[in-house]
Chains A and B, each alone.
Chain A
Amino acid sequence: MNDENLLLMEMASGNEKPLDYYYNKYAAKVYSTILSYTKNEEDAEELLQDVFVTLFDSANKFKNDASVSTWIYRIAVNKCLDFLRRMNSQKRKGIFSSFFSKDSGETIIEPIDFVHPGVKLENAEDAKLLFRVLDELTENQKTVFILTQIDGLPQQEVADIMKLSRKSVESLLQRAKASMREKLETFYPERGKHKKNTSK
């Protein structure tokens, strides 16, 4: 049993101190992942807190079949997917009732101009389009794309997080990329052509 697992056992007995270690080590990574799903900093902050509260609450349920980092990512991904489902159902309800939410009067349609704060400045405009088509993927495809391409996790670790085989992850990633390229062409049919014309 490694140190991280021992710390988790300590936390399971009600000690809050190991939480500092886990937060300092994983918060930035997990926050980055969550932000790719939520595309909103406030929601990402809220979910990040939920992830670590859940980690503390369910430390006694941890089985040593995976590493602690895999487990933390698994909690984060599940929370993000739940959040997106909730948002989608709210959106569906919104279509029938109103284009505005009753409480705040704000539009409940997601903003499409999201730029991940870690993206290089010169890539920001292109990344906006990428995040726009990322929304069109299925849950599994989106998770695989975010974890491998944005967070840079190895495919085997992603497979462990999603409880899939590495081959499945590989094929999901290929399908995700193909689907995103298709969507880019569908959503922005003039963009590529326009660039070609100007280069001449």
Chain B
Amino acid sequence: MEAWKNKIMNSLDGIEEARPPKDGLLKVKEKIDQQKSKNLTKQPSQWMAVAAVILLLFCANIFVVSDYFKYQENAEQVSTSYSGMISNFNIYE
């Protein structure tokens, strides 16, 4: 049994390198080029996302500011129209 195990364990003696495929380097370069083109196409979409967020913030701010001024106008109108009613609080006199 020991001799057999030794034979198996020594079966890799004189092993040589395996040959890689001939077009391997070409495929590596293709993959690198694919990655580069992917990165290039990714960039505009990233900028589009940033631009969309900025636009959204800008619109939201305009809405808030315009809403604020509308509220101010309404508040002034209400205060003038009810000024007579609320000038005297002694309603039981």
* Cβ 8 A contact of B28, one of A19, A28, A32, A130: A19
Contacts of B4 on A, CB cut-off 8 Å?
191-192, 195-196
Chain A interface mostly: helix
Number of residues of chain B lying within 8 A (CB) of chain A: 27
Closest A residue by C-beta to B36: A14
| Interchain nearest-CB distance for B42 vs A (Å) | 15
Structural contact, A116 and B15, CB atoms closer than 8 A:
yes
Q: Measured between alpha carbons, how far is A27 from B27 in the docked complex, in Å?
A: 13
Check if A136 is an interface residue, CB within 8 A of chain B.
no
Structural contact, B3 and A192, CB atoms closer than 8 A:
yes
Structural contact, B12 and A119, CB atoms closer than 8 A:
yes
Structural contact, A117 and B35, CB atoms closer than 8 A:
no
* Cβ 8 A contact of A181, one of B5, B19, B21: B5
Structural contact, A184 and B8, CB atoms closer than 8 A:
yes
Q: Measured between alpha carbons, how far is A34 from B4 in the docked complex, in Å?
A: 28
Contacts of B73 on A, CB cut-off 8 Å?
none
Closest A residue by C-beta to B23: A45
Interfacial residues of chain A within 47-72, with CB under 8 A of chain B in the complex = 48-49, 52-53, 56-57
Structural contact, A196 and B1, CB atoms closer than 8 A:
yes
Contacts of B31 on A, CB cut-off 8 Å?
49, 53
Structural contact, B32 and A53, CB atoms closer than 8 A:
yes
Contacts of B15 on A, CB cut-off 8 Å?
116, 118-120, 150
Closest B residue by C-beta to A30: B20
Interfacial residues of chain B within 2-37, with CB under 8 A of chain A in the complex = 2-5, 7-9, 11-21, 24-25, 27-29, 31-32, 35
Which of A86-94, A97-105, A121-129, A158-166 participates in binding chain B?
A121-129
Q: Measured between alpha carbons, how far is A130 from B4 in the docked complex, in Å?
A: 12
The 3 residue pairs across chains A and B that have the minimum distance between CB atoms? A192-B1, A192-B4, A126-B11
